[in-house]
Chains A and B, each alone.
Chain A
Amino acid sequence: MSLQRILFFVLFGAALLACNDDDLPQADGPTPYSLIIPSSLPGLPIPNNNPLTEEGVELGRKLFYDPLLSGNNTQSCGNCHNQADGFTDNQLQYSTGIDGISGDRNSMPLFNIGYANNFFWDGGATTLESQVVAPIMNPIEMHEDLANAISELNAHPDYPLLFNKAFGSDSITTSMVMKAIAQFERTLLSGNSKYDRYMKGQATLTPQEQNGLIVFRAAAKGDCTHCHTLGGTFTDFGYRNTGLDSIAVDSGRARITLNPLDLGRFKTPTLRNIAVTAPYMHDGRFFSLQEVLDHYNTGFHYPVNLDPNLRAAVKGRMTAQEMTDLIAFLQTLTDTDFLTNPAYGRP
């Protein structure tokens, strides 16, 4: 190789490397998190600006269970989102915040939440990350001043290092807190219920459960699949008025869209783990699945914006036995592995 050629390559390299710090691989950056998605669930969308990392997920888990994020350091996210109850609040109708004030909506399950595009019963939050700060700030929930939480985290003996490992900076910002908790929440995947194993040929449904599945699907009976799509997430993530009241008490989706047609419309919840997430409906008014089915069978009202499928439904279309069978089927959607997986519990 001629001297000229060698020189050329040396200088070529030098020219490319000049000012190249920004492109150098981050040798000690966070480790990508390898998310295992149950085969019964679809691929999970992950936002480009918040990839899952081992450090981020673990930090998010620590924050999720840390009461430091509440105004008087007594409540964490985990207080009202208990793993054994499918990350809902201990069979309570309403949760009570740090000031002893209770809300007017039922604590929502958090598993498979990465599949949703909007969060809360009314879909007010449009990203999982921005959802995170709402319960922290809400005066009737954790009632914390965000700026105060951030300064507490920055002064903490452990957190600056953990944030540095996850996000490359030990100067903690609100955005990092939002991202870390959202990362942890995206890992909460539930897809190994008896029904899922039945679908894979690894379990058998009892005759009663099988009959319940038939009722679930039958248009003239349960007619559940319009909203609670069978398999996968068991929800279409839509918003509907299901006739709980003739005039909506809670404005629901209209609070966000400011559209009167959305009055009393709420998000379709998932049916996975439904047997452990009582009470039911946005306001937790029904304490048993039987009460829920009674509502859909005979109890619903006819508000102007009642969901069309319900408006067309005949009252009294299910027999008592069919509802009993349907409940037996809904109980096959409980995923005990998920509810007891130590990876999702308090660290």
Chain B
Amino acid sequence: MNFRIRNLLIIFTTMKMFRSRPSILLSIPLIAFTLLINGCKDDTEDPLPSTGSIKMTVEHYTGSTPLLLGQLNATNAAGNTYQVDLLKYYLSNVSLIRSDSSLFNLGNYDLIDADNPSSQIVRGKDIPNGNYIGIRFFIGVDSARNNSIDQSGDLDPSYGMFWPWNTGYIFFKHEGFYTDTAGNIQSLLFHYGTDIALATVSLPLSLEINGTEKSLNLRFDLNALYADPNIIDFNIDNYHQSDSGNDRNWIEALKQNFPQAFSISVIR
């Protein structure tokens, strides 16, 4: 809308400058030229690089070891040996925090899949230049979008992260196996979600945006997710679909653990 108002102002001003009849004719090419160059100009574009971008790569670990899918080789704080066959989750609303605590929210909804490297990159652009002291994001989908019917992009319900009985998304999925106390291999299924499960992760960060692209590394340690501060013992918790009152404590425990499971660093 702004460009229209600007065009009108230019025309008014030009008309005033040429009050006499001959000069009106003169003003036609001037005004036409104005419309030509201004008519379709996007106001958000700025020739000066007053904004920059980020490229955040997510890496998955079990403790200090990079995550290997399909291997029964990880050990959590409860002493369970476990395996990850599927690890998918929503990482959304990545926001950079300024020193006055205000946020710049990328408004993203990224479905991260440990089995798909291209899904593990979160990009943000048009970030105002300046110094940022932290980053905040959600594991999951905020209530408004969780109950929306206009799902697109990574929120398309066809990605296997939409409950079959419930409106909304499975925020986090871990499927695999673990070895129980008797030494038997048992299956593990964690489907974490519902509005009460939205987990907020806030991390300190020293980042200057100065018109270029900055690369960040976000490390997600599954061992920490099952340890800090609430130890999850797969002998007790090995099957949760967030569909029963019995799931509440597990949801609450993971929600408290998520912030400790992530760490971030700036590469360049």
Contacts and interface: CB of A to CB of B under 8 A. Distances in A.
Interface of A: 3-4, 7-8, 11-12, 14-16, 18-19, 47, 49-50, 120, 122, 124-127, 129-131, 133-134, 137-139, 145-147, 149-150, 173-175, 178-179, 182, 251, 254-256, 258-260, 263
Given A15-B11, A174-B156, A137 B149 contact: no
B40 interface: yes
Given A19-B40, A147-B159, A255-B243, A174 B15 contact: no
Given A133-B157, A146-B157, A126 B8 contact: no
B247 interface: yes
By secondary structure, the A interface counts as helix
B104 to A, nearest CB: 27
B196 interface: yes
A256 B166 contact: yes
Nearest to A137: B164
Interface string B13-42: 001000001001001100100010001100
A12 B11 contact: yes
Contacts of B166: 124-125, 134, 256
A173 B242 CA distance: 27
B150 interface: yes
Given A11-B11, A133-B162, A18 B167 contact: no
A124 B158 contact: no
B156 A15 contact: no
A87 B196 CA distance: 34
A134 to B, nearest CB: 5
B244 A174 contact: no
Given A11-B31, A12-B8, A175 B15 contact: no
Given A16-B4, A19-B39, A258-B247, A124 B163 contact: yes
A54 to B, nearest CB: 20
Given A8-B15, A175-B151, A125 B4 contact: no
Contacts of A49: 149-150
A3 B8 CA distance: 18
Given A4-B24, A11-B11, A255 B165 contact: yes
B8 A15 contact: yes
Interface string B224-248: 0000000000000000001111011
Contacts of B243: 251, 255-256, 258
Contacts of A3: 21, 24
Contacts of B159: 147
Interface string B190-225: 000010100000000000000000000000000000
A14 B40 CA distance: 12
B158 A146 contact: yes
B152 interface: yes
A129 B8 CA distance: 44
Contacts of B81: none
A125 to B, nearest CB: 5
Contacts of A182: 149
Contact of B149 (A18, A47, A260): A47
A19 B3 CA distance: 9
A124 B243 CA distance: 10
